[in-house]
Amino acid sequence: MIADVRVRLLGPVEALVDGAWRPVAGLRRQALLAALALQAREVVSAEALVDLVWDGDEPAKAHNSLQSHVSFLRRELALRDVIVGRAPGYVLDLAVGGTDVEVVDGLVRQVRAETDPARRAGLLRLALRWWRGPALAGLHDLSWFGEQAARLEAVRRDAAWALTDARLALGEHRALLAELEHLADQHPLDEELHRQLMLALYRCGRPSDALAVYGRLRRLLVEQLGVDPGPVLRELEASILRHDATLEPPAGGGPVSAVDRSDRVLVERATELRVIDTALTGAATSDSGSVIFFEGPAGIGKSTLLRYARTRAEEAGFNLAAGTGRLLETGHAWGCVRQMFECLLRSPQDTTIPLAGAERATARRLLAEADPAGEHPFIDALHRLVVDLAARGPLLVTLDDLHWADPPSARLLAYLAARAERSPMVVIAALRPGVAGIDQIVAGFAQSTWVLSPLSERGSAALLHGVDEAVARRCRAVARGNPLWLRELRRHAAADVPADDAFERGLRGLRRLLQAQIRQLPAALPVVQALAVLGGPAPVEAIAVTAGTGVDEALHQLAVLHVNHLVEGAQRYSFTHPLTGEAAYEGIGPAQRAAMHARAAGVALRTDDVVAAASHLVRVPARWGDVDAVPVLDQAAQVCLDRGSVDEAAAFLRRLLEEDLGGDRDRILDRLASTGR
């Protein structure tokens, strides 16, 4: 009988074998088990294991030592069935969710999909309970494990921040205050932590203390980093000064007032719903299958259509296999396949799975032996297994975010889709356009692809039903028919606050949503940020220099952003919506923002535009970057004075005074005084 094995990494490295925790003795053995567990179900070469475990200080017979440690773990911890030798190394054959890291990752994914703050808080508490101390305790001196520990600490920190935000949304500011003050003392330069502390202080009736926290943070940032707080904190300070109603706690200290939850409602998607219903009916009644691809930008409603399909299929008694592509797992071969067919790997005692025990064993063996280098036999074998599954009852296979699927899984989906009509099987996938490898894989299914359009004015109005018409009109103008944007704006617009405040709150929520969407395109992030720094229509050469990348790479990423409806233009590029630029700019860290503005100033000087260059330099700390700021700011101030732009000239002169001017300082002071500003 195969042992039930789990591995704990969020603390000291331990193994749970058939319900009993077993500590792992010895640094090298801990490192070996941790290296395999962090790459569970993936073959790790012996060479890589030696490099990770000994960190460049391997013994003379390192491979013999490695084999000895593997034998020890197999024998003493009863891991013989899960540490499998497979050329060119070993694989830890754990079930999905077999490590605490994977469990936490799953909980975090649920949090991202959840909008209710109470449920978010519950999921985040569950995630944080998995930590038993510093992740990979005792292994931090080994370089790779130190990097992994830092990554996992960032996950823990982000979860803690998100839990605080959820609790603030639930009106728990008083309970949080002491903890936030303590954490702010421990992390004096952490802007996100100080934002939360300022909000909690304000909601506790202490606005002056909240402003004092901002002032202290600003002084430290200027003294130690030479930068000011970011735009989010500056906006919060301004909101506190004007006692903005959006800062008030939820009524009664309870959850934020909720709007009618329309996230499941599908507006102007009658055609797509009929396509889904027809496909499911065909599979259920005539043993004929079909394939459907839904394509469109983020927020257009693809995932909601897949949820609808799964709900209808479950009601009709279908077997379900569902997976989701993940941005950080595109290199994890067969990752989506393992999600989609995880049901095939459950224990033989689970009678809800229609496959017999022998077929389950076959599926387990196939997935364990999957090799991206020789994937065709595996794809063919798994297809036969899926056909057997469909023969026992109609089957729905869904894959959301196909654009982030690992290539072998995407090719398997295409293989299944090409043969779906031969079995009672419906294959439905959702994807954003513009990912070259995935676009090529699904190119043969153009007749089965439905491109989702933005909602009409009437459809947008339907999603905003019940919202004050003046506010709804502004929401429709901003959202431009994107259902997710409309729902986010409605969520805030329905709050019991004045219309203008509700709309501004909605815009802030939308900017946060856009920042999350931008982060989902990591390769394009420098280009997005560069365009935000440049601030307007810009040629690709300027974007490339500001981003610190080549022109060809910038053009490629601009094409990706274009098909995702984030930028527009051909010779000169700009954001399709100003909010996208605002969100991108707010998401740039202070040091990176300064470096980009310095490069943008250099770009402007190439065309002798000293005013544009100076406009960037006022956002760059003194003596930062390659541009000599003194003559640029001096000349730009004079140009502005000649044009009558006195305020702009004064701003340049004030920034100029931050430079080392020597004996010229008095002259600049006299010029500034002459402006009267």
CB 103 within 8 A of CB 126: no
Q: Report pLDDT for 369.
A: 60
Q: Over the stretch 473-482, which tens digit does the pLDDT of each residue have?
A: 888 888 888 8
Instruction: Give the mean model confidence (pLDDT) for residues 92-111.
Output: 87
Query: What CATH architecture applies to the domain 521-588?
Result: Orthogonal Bundle (1.10)
Residue partners of 142: CB distance under 8 A and separation at least 6: 31, 52, 53, 55
Task: Place 442 in a pLDDT band, splitting at 50, 70 and 90.
Answer: confident
DSSP string, 131-174: --SSTTTT-TTSHHHHHHHHHHHHHHHHHHHHHHHHHHHTT-HH
Q: Over the stretch 257-279, which tens digit does the pLDDT of each residue have?
A: 222 333 445 788 888 988 998 88
Beta-bridged to residue 6, according to DSSP, are 16
**DSSP collapsed to 3 states, 5-71:** EEEECCCCCEEEECCEEEECCCHHHHHHHHHHHHCCCCCEEHHHHHHHHHCCCCCCCHHHHHHHHHH
Structure tokens at 461: 């109005």
Q: What is the DSSP letter of 99?
A: B
Query: What CATH architecture applies to the domain 1-170?
Result: Orthogonal Bundle (1.10)
Q: Report pLDDT for 256.
A: 30
Domain 171-251's class? mainly alpha
CB 44 within 8 A of CB 90: yes
Structure tokens at 85: 């030798």
- Say how far apart CA 92 and CA 474 lie, in whole Å: 54
Same CATH fold assignment for domains 171-251 and 270-451:
no
- Say how far apart CA 255 and CA 262 lie, in whole Å: 18
- Between β-strands 425-431 and 395-400, what pairing exists: parallel, antiparallel or unpaired? parallel
Q: Over the stretch 587-625, which tens digit does the pLDDT of each residue have?
A: 898 889 999 999 999 999 998 999 999 999 999 998 887
Q: Where are the domains of the chain?
A: 1-170, 171-251, 270-451, 457-519, 521-588, 598-677
Over 80: is that where the pLDDT of 254 sits? no
pLDDT > 90: percent of the chain: 34
Domain 270-451's class? alpha beta
Q: Average pLDDT over the chain, rounded to whole?
A: 84
Q: Over the stretch 622-649, which tens digit does the pLDDT of each residue have?
A: 888 788 999 999 999 999 998 888 889 9
Domain 598-677's class? mainly alpha
Over 50: is that where the pLDDT of 334 sits? yes
Task: Place 79 in a pLDDT band, splitting at 50, 70 and 90.
Answer: confident
CB 521 within 8 A of CB 564: yes
- Between β-strands 538-539 and 572-575, what pairing exists: parallel, antiparallel or unpaired? antiparallel
Q: Over the stretch 397-431, which tens digit does the pLDDT of each residue have?
A: 999 999 888 888 888 888 888 888 878 899 999 99
